[in-house]
Structure 1
Amino acid sequence: MPHRYFTTEIGQGRAALTGSDAHHLADVMRASVGDQVILCDPHAVEYLGTVTAIAPGWVEFSVTEGYPSAAEPDVEVTLFAGYPKLGKLEDTIRHSVELGVRHVVPFFSRYCVAAPKKEEAKNERYNRVAAEAAKQCGRGVLPDVAMPLPDFAAVCDAFHAFDLVLFFYECGGVSLRQVLGGAPGREARRIAVVTGSEGGFAPEEAALAAAHGAVTVGLGPRILRCETAPLAVLAAVMTLTGNLE
């Protein structure tokens, strides 16, 4: 299968890669004129690109007519993930991208064990992890990882941007199947899912989420680890919205 790259420099039957992607294709993969790759634009449209020219830091292509990426879900899911300890966030990002998440927003909350430290440098690494996962699993867009939000109030302030906010609480809530099977869930296209860190959520945080319009959802009788819950949630959301068929 052709290698996959993402670019904004595409249109009128031509495209280009620059920077690290051009270096990877030209110098690491040793591409030559006539080789083909898959190119994706920011709107989840894919093109078959044929290399027409190679220069230092630059690869040019002719491209076919674009077609919508079959890998992109018809719901745009943002994961708000409580910041875990011991580097677990990288795995959460990697697997979330494979499951179809579009945005990952880490956050600190009352019971977080982790504390902010060199977050700018970490964010660069996290976005590289997301990009690598997107290429590996055949995504049509590059999911992004935001800088972490400083507290749970900042998370709740972001809820207004979504059609549906699902707050997953270790103390239980309504059934996810019930929520997504109802009219609001079937109609929602922009969905936020919120999962906690190792310490879970404080009762006042759960109350704040509900006050900002989130639906409090349970995940059954077992307590899931903070690295397990996001993946279980995303797999369930994608299944119930028909995006794992």
Structure 2
Amino acid sequence: MPHRYFTAEVGNGRAALNGTDAHHLADVMRAKIGENVILCDAHAVEYVGTITSIQPGRVEFTVTEGYPSAAEPSVEVTLFAGYPKLGKLEDTIRHSVELGVTNVVPFFSRYCVAAPKKEEAKNERYCRVAVEAAKQCGRGILPTVELPLPDFNAVCDRFKDYDLVLFFYECGGVSLREVFNKEPGNRAKRIAVVTGSEGGFAAEEAAHAAECGAVTVGLGPRILRCETAPLAVLSAVMTLTGNLE
């Protein structure tokens, strides 16, 4: 499979990579003139690029006409993830990107065990993890990882931006299949998924989520770990929307 790179410098039949990506392709992968790679413009459009020039810090290509990325799901899903402890967020980001998430938004809530610490520096690392996962799994966009929201009220303030908000509560709720078998679930294109940290959610947080328009959803009789729940949820959402076929 050809290597995959993202670039904003593409158009009029030509493209280029600069900086670290150019170094990786030319010096690490030892690419040669005439070889092909897949280039993505980060807007779900892909191109086959043929290398025409290799210079220090820059690789140039001719490209085919752009075509839609087959890897992008038909729904745009944002994961709001309760901030976990012990570095678990990195794996959640990596696997969520593989499953098709568009945006990851960590947040702190009442029962979070973790506390904010050097979040700007951590976010740089988290964004790199998302980019590498997107390249590895063949995504056509670069999913984003936001700085964590300070509390659950800030999470609920974002609900108005989505067609459907799914709040996964350890105390139960409607089934996910039921949500997608009727409107507005079966028509939703922008979906928010909300999962908790190790401590779960306070009862008043669950009530506030419902007041702000979220659908409270259960995940069966077992309590899932905070690093398991997002992956189970995203797999189910992608399956029920036809994006794992």
TM-score range, shorter chain: over 0.9
CA displacement, residues 142-163 of structure 1 (integer Å, 9 cap, x when unaligned)? 1111111010011011111100
TM-score between both structures, scaled by the size of structure 2: 0.99
Q: Does 1:136 align with 2:144?
A: no
Q: In structure 1, what is the equivalent of residue 125 of structure 2?
A: 125
CA distance in 2, matches of 1:186, 1:9: 37
Q: Distance in 1 between matches of 2:183 and 2:214?
A: 16
- After superposition, what is the alpha-carbon deviation per residue over 1:146-199, rounded to whole angstroms, capped at 9, x for unaligned? 111010011011111100000000000011001011120111000000000000
Corresponding residue number in structure 1 for 2:32: 32
Structure 2 match to 1:178: 178
- Percent identity over paired residues: 82
Between 197-206 and 35-44, the greater mean CA deviation after superposition: 35-44
Counterparts in 2 of 1:157-196, with a 5 A limit? Answer: 157-196=157-196
Q: Write out aligned runs for 1:6-155 (5 A).
A: 6-155=6-155
SS at match of 1:115: coil
2:159 maps to a residue whose letter is F
- RMSD over aligned CA atoms reads 0.7
> What is the distance in 2 between the residues matched to 1:52 and 1:149?
45
Aligned partner of residue 184 in structure 2, secondary structure: helix
Query: Structure 2: which 5+ runs fail to align?
Result: none
Distance, in Å, in 2 between the alignment partners of 1:87 and 1:43 is 30
CA distance in 2, matches of 1:190, 1:53: 41
Aligned equivalents of 2:101, 2:13: Cα separation in 1 = 30
**Cα distance in structure 2, aligned partners of 1:104 and 1:176:** 20
What CA distance in whole angstroms lies between the structure 1 residues aligned with 2:121 and 2:223?
Answer: 32
Partner of 1:179, secondary structure, is helix
Length-normalised TM-score, structure 1: 0.99
Deviation at 1:42, TM superposition (A): 2.1
Match of 1:236, SS state, is: helix
Q: Residues 226-241 of structure 1: matches in 2 within 5 Å?
A: 226-241=226-241
Structure 1, gaps ≥5 residues long: none
For each residue in 1:82-136, what CA deviation from the matched residue of structure 2 results, as whole angstroms up to 9, or x when unmatched?
0000000011011101111010000000000000111111101001111111111
